[in-house]
Amino acid sequence: MEKETLLEADLAFQQALYKYFINNYRNKFSQIADIIKSDDTKEAYRLVHSIKGNAAQIGKNNLKQAAYNIECILKDGKNTVTDEQLKYLEDELNIALNEIELIINKEQ
């Protein structure tokens, strides 16, 4: 495969990851916060674990770290997540979503 074709395929894959992230996480924070506050640690762990992995795939390291911090707390089934940690996750998620939307809009 030629370099140009590979580059186009890489860009198309990156676009697909971005769109997946936006579609799955645009309105997800309130659900995560509600689940954490309801003490459903298993479901909360699953959600922040997913955010962490997806953030890593798209290079959003601050979001990955925010999710990891909460994931570590929930890992043992204990919920001592603070409001500050939730706010950090919310802020980083919003930053990532806004940055991705700017990229997608610029490329269209």
pLDDT in tens, 24-34: 999 889 999 99
Q: What pLDDT does 12 receive?
A: 83
Residue 65 sits in which domain range? 3-107
CA distance 18 to 9: 14
Q: CA quadruple 22, 35, 84, 51: dihedral positive or negative?
A: negative
pLDDT in tens, 62-75: 999 999 999 999 99
The CATH number linked to 100 is: 1.20.120.160
Pick from 42, 39, 50: which is nearest to 80 by CA?
Answer: 39
Q: Mean pLDDT across the stretch 69-86?
A: 93
Whether 13 shows a pLDDT value over 90: the answer reads no
Count up the domains in the chain and report the number. 1
Whether 6 shows a pLDDT value over 80: the answer reads no
**Residue 11 confidence class, pLDDT cut points 50, 70, 90:** confident
